[in-house]
Amino acid sequence: MSTIEERRLVLPGDLVVEGEGYELGANVYRDGVKIYSQVIGLASIVDNKVSVTALKGVYIPKRGDIVVGIVREVGITRWLIDINSPYQGVLPAVDVIGRKFSTDKIDLKDYLKVGDVIVARVVSFDRTTDAILTVDGKGLGRVDNGRLEYITPTKIPRLIGKKGSMINLIKKESGCNITIGKNGVILIEGPSRELEELVAELVKKIDREAHVPGLTDRVAEILRSSMKGGQV
């Protein structure tokens, strides 16, 4: 049974692994005992499941996903939310107000206005309509502080790292609270603008260099060097 180097860069049609007993994960296909990549991405085997994490792609909503979005339109009974996807997010007004209301007595701009940032969960989506969102839940709702950074959605697992190694390192060293939207929008809330900017730059670095070995060590060195002596 063959093995592969963790996070090896592969192209469409590249042989990922050859042998019996492997299960198919994401973005791969089988031909006999050989498993090939369908996309450009990072190949890995976890518990004999072969997968390739695509390095390109757009966010397609999935029920249960946590997303970070921006209010783009205020309607009479709902808000339209930019969720960094070909599809929009729809946040029903009753979800925020919590009860039935008269549209001639309540102005939704008093609750959320254009440009407001929210953390929400995808309630439903079937590719034929926009994603329905909710802000009912712990940690969900309007965000009043912090800054946003963007990462290719398919590279989010690299930002998180094995068992949370990368994201926990960044949180611990920077003191920032980081909310990772499955849509590739990252909310960074820190003790200072300088620390938020540092974390934003690290997110960009991870986005650019997700395929490069030893990335976690380099991120750790940048963090410790920047934090040394209170430079940020």
Domains detected in the chain: 8-54 (2.40.50.100), 66-143 (2.40.50.140), 147-230 (3.30.1370.10)
| Termini Cα distance of the chain | 49
Cα(133)–Cα(65) distance, integer angstroms: 10
Amino acid identity of 124?
S
For every one of its 232 residues, what pLDDT tens digit does the chain have, with 9 covering 90 and above? 444 545 678 888 999 999 999 999 988 999 999 999 988 888 888 888 999 877 777 788 999 999 999 999 999 889 999 999 888 999 999 888 877 777 677 889 999 999 999 999 999 998 778 999 999 999 999 999 999 999 999 899 999 998 999 999 999 999 999 999 999 999 999 999 999 999 999 999 999 998 888 899 999 999 989 887 555 5
Whether residue 211 contacts residue 7, with contact meaning beta carbons closer than 8 Å, is answered with yes
Q: State how far the alpha carbon of 184 is from the alpha carbons of 43, 81, 151, in Å.
A: 20, 15, 5
Whether residue 72 contacts residue 84, with contact meaning beta carbons closer than 8 Å, is answered with no
This prediction has a pTM of: 0.74
